Amino acid sequence: MTFNHQQQKIDESLSQLSWGERLFRSFGPLAAGYILDFLDLVTWGAVGLYLGSILGGLMGWWLAVVYRLGVFAQCLLTVLTAFYCLLPGTELLPLATIIMALYRFSKKHE
Protein backbone atom coordinates (compact mmCIF):
# COMPACT_ATOMS: atom_id res chain seq x y z
CA MET A 1 0.00 0.00 0.00
CA THR A 2 1.50 3.30 -1.05
CA PHE A 3 1.56 6.47 0.94
CA ASN A 4 -0.87 8.22 -1.41
CA HIS A 5 -3.34 5.35 -1.14
CA GLN A 6 -3.12 5.42 2.67
CA GLN A 7 -3.59 9.19 2.70
CA GLN A 8 -6.62 8.86 0.44
CA LYS A 9 -8.21 6.33 2.81
CA ILE A 10 -7.55 8.63 5.78
CA ASP A 11 -9.03 11.62 3.94
CA GLU A 12 -12.13 9.62 3.03
CA SER A 13 -12.66 8.46 6.61
CA LEU A 14 -12.23 12.00 7.96
CA SER A 15 -14.59 13.47 5.41
CA GLN A 16 -17.32 11.14 6.66
CA LEU A 17 -17.13 12.49 10.21
CA SER A 18 -19.11 15.54 11.21
CA TRP A 19 -17.44 18.65 12.58
CA GLY A 20 -18.53 17.80 16.13
CA GLU A 21 -17.20 14.24 15.86
CA ARG A 22 -13.82 15.44 14.64
CA LEU A 23 -13.68 18.04 17.42
CA PHE A 24 -14.58 15.44 20.05
CA ARG A 25 -12.00 12.99 18.66
CA SER A 26 -9.28 15.65 18.77
CA PHE A 27 -9.98 17.42 22.04
CA GLY A 28 -12.31 15.08 23.93
CA PRO A 29 -9.69 13.32 26.05
CA LEU A 30 -7.98 16.59 26.96
CA ALA A 31 -11.28 18.22 27.84
CA ALA A 32 -12.13 15.24 30.03
CA GLY A 33 -8.82 15.64 31.84
CA TYR A 34 -9.37 19.38 32.28
CA ILE A 35 -12.87 18.83 33.65
CA LEU A 36 -11.73 16.15 36.08
CA ASP A 37 -8.81 18.28 37.30
CA PHE A 38 -11.12 21.28 37.70
CA LEU A 39 -13.55 19.15 39.67
CA ASP A 40 -10.67 17.98 41.86
CA LEU A 41 -9.63 21.60 42.42
CA VAL A 42 -13.19 22.64 43.34
CA THR A 43 -13.39 19.85 45.94
CA TRP A 44 -10.27 21.06 47.76
CA GLY A 45 -9.91 20.53 51.50
CA ALA A 46 -12.76 19.42 53.71
CA VAL A 47 -15.24 19.65 50.83
CA GLY A 48 -13.24 16.95 49.05
CA LEU A 49 -13.67 14.55 51.93
CA TYR A 50 -17.45 14.78 51.65
CA LEU A 51 -18.23 15.65 48.05
CA GLY A 52 -15.01 14.68 46.24
CA SER A 53 -15.73 11.00 45.94
CA ILE A 54 -19.37 11.52 44.96
CA LEU A 55 -18.67 14.15 42.31
CA GLY A 56 -15.57 12.35 41.07
CA GLY A 57 -17.45 9.07 40.79
CA LEU A 58 -20.27 10.73 38.86
CA MET A 59 -17.74 12.32 36.53
CA GLY A 60 -16.03 8.97 35.96
CA TRP A 61 -19.36 7.31 35.23
CA TRP A 62 -20.25 10.07 32.75
CA LEU A 63 -16.88 9.75 31.01
CA ALA A 64 -17.29 5.99 30.75
CA VAL A 65 -20.70 6.46 29.13
CA VAL A 66 -19.41 9.10 26.72
CA TYR A 67 -16.47 6.92 25.65
CA ARG A 68 -18.72 3.83 25.46
CA LEU A 69 -16.62 1.70 27.76
CA GLY A 70 -17.77 -1.69 28.95
CA VAL A 71 -19.32 -2.39 32.33
CA PHE A 72 -16.04 -3.44 33.96
CA ALA A 73 -14.19 -0.38 32.64
CA GLN A 74 -17.10 1.83 33.69
CA CYS A 75 -16.95 0.54 37.26
CA LEU A 76 -13.16 0.83 37.35
CA LEU A 77 -13.16 4.38 36.00
CA THR A 78 -15.88 5.40 38.45
CA VAL A 79 -13.86 4.10 41.40
CA LEU A 80 -10.59 5.63 40.16
CA THR A 81 -12.05 9.08 39.56
CA ALA A 82 -13.86 9.00 42.91
CA PHE A 83 -10.60 8.10 44.63
CA TYR A 84 -8.69 10.76 42.66
CA CYS A 85 -11.07 13.53 43.77
CA LEU A 86 -11.08 12.21 47.34
CA LEU A 87 -7.29 12.17 47.78
CA PRO A 88 -5.85 15.26 49.44
CA GLY A 89 -2.91 16.91 47.73
CA THR A 90 -3.88 16.14 44.13
CA GLU A 91 -5.62 19.46 43.57
CA LEU A 92 -2.61 21.34 42.24
CA LEU A 93 -1.23 18.50 40.11
CA PRO A 94 -3.08 18.12 36.77
CA LEU A 95 -2.64 14.36 36.77
CA ALA A 96 -5.88 13.61 34.89
CA THR A 97 -4.96 16.02 32.10
CA ILE A 98 -1.50 14.48 31.79
CA ILE A 99 -2.94 10.95 31.64
CA MET A 100 -5.54 11.90 29.06
CA ALA A 101 -2.95 13.71 26.93
CA LEU A 102 -0.73 10.63 27.00
CA TYR A 103 -3.76 8.50 26.10
CA ARG A 104 -4.52 10.74 23.12
CA PHE A 105 -0.85 10.78 22.08
CA SER A 106 -0.58 6.99 22.19
CA LYS A 107 -3.71 6.37 20.08
CA LYS A 108 -2.97 5.67 16.46
CA HIS A 109 -4.95 7.46 13.82
CA GLU A 110 -8.17 5.59 13.14
Q: Given pLDDT bands bounded at 50, 70 and 90, which one contains residue 108?
A: low
Tens of pLDDT, residue by residue over 23-39, are 777 777 778 888 888 88
DSSP 109: P
Is residue 70 left, alpha or beta, with left meaning phi > 0 and alpha meaning psi from -120 to 50? beta
Average pLDDT over residues 61-88: 86
Average pLDDT value for the chain: 78
CA dist list (Å): 3 to 7, 10, 15: 6, 11, 18
For residue 98, what pLDDT is reported? 80
Average pLDDT over residues 76-85: 88
